[in-house]
Amino acid sequence: MFSKACQHGIKAVIYIATQSLEGNRVKIGDVSENTGTPEAFTAKILGTLNKYDIVRSVKGPYGGFEIDVNRMKQLNVSDIVFAIDGDSIYNGCALGLSECNPMEPCPMHENFVKVRGRLKTMLQTTTIYDLATKLKSGISILIR
């Protein structure tokens, strides 16, 4: 459903948020290790997320990545998805047809429109803070 970059971006943001809740900044290697993502790929993703103001990069010996607690309460998963994958998840055809719409629907169009609507609502209402607190409490995991 999400691209690999988007999956890794979501995991990276959740991990950075958990560390930020404790007042810690994290280095790229730490994010990579705790999300199971190659370091170079992590760096590229975090660069994109920094550009979209999802994470903040602080330079220097005490630098790293962080997310302000108030910001993580405003950020939702759809912000990350949009930054990395754009809005194609909300607009694309379930079967990958170049043109699929109500006037010329694919066989799955009507059902997929409903699923996309529910997915969009879920992504827009799930905050990074919610996900970070679930991870910190042990309710969820990022890597296996």
Is the pLDDT reported for residue 46 higher than 80? yes
> For residue 53, what are the contacts with CB-CB under 8 A and spacing of at least 6?
none
Residue 143 forms part of a structural domain: no
Q: Residue 12: what pLDDT?
A: 97
Tokens at 131, concatenated: 């996900």
pLDDT in tens, 63-73: 999 999 999 99
Bridge partners of residue 127, in order along the sequence: 76
Q: Residue 27: what pLDDT?
A: 96
Residue 144 forms part of a structural domain: no
What is the C-alpha separation between 15 and 101, in angstroms, rounded?
38
Average pLDDT over the chain reads 93
Task: List, in sequence order, every beta strand (DSSP E) within the chain.
Answer: 56-58, 64-66
- Rounded average pLDDT over 63-88: 95
> For residue 14, what are the contacts with CB-CB under 8 A and spacing of at least 6?
128, 131, 132, 135, 142
Q: Residue 92: what pLDDT?
A: 81
Query: Where residue 92 sits, what CATH number does that domain have?
Result: 1.10.10.10
Q: What Rg do the C-alpha atoms of the chain give, in angstroms?
A: 17
Residue 55: which pLDDT band, with cuts at 50, 70 and 90?
Answer: very high
Is the pLDDT reported for residue 142 higher than 90? no
b/e per residue 31-65 (b: at least 16 CB within 10 A)? bbebbebeeeebeebbeebeeeebbbeeeeeeebb
Residue 94: which pLDDT band, with cuts at 50, 70 and 90?
Answer: confident
> For residue 90, what are the contacts with CB-CB under 8 A and spacing of at least 6?
116, 119, 120
Taking the whole predicted model, whether its pTM rises above 0.85 is answered as: yes
Residue 110 forms part of a structural domain: yes
Q: Residue 91: what pLDDT?
A: 81
Which range of residues forms the domain containing residue 73?
Answer: 4-137
Total domains in the chain come to 1
Residue 127 forms part of a structural domain: yes
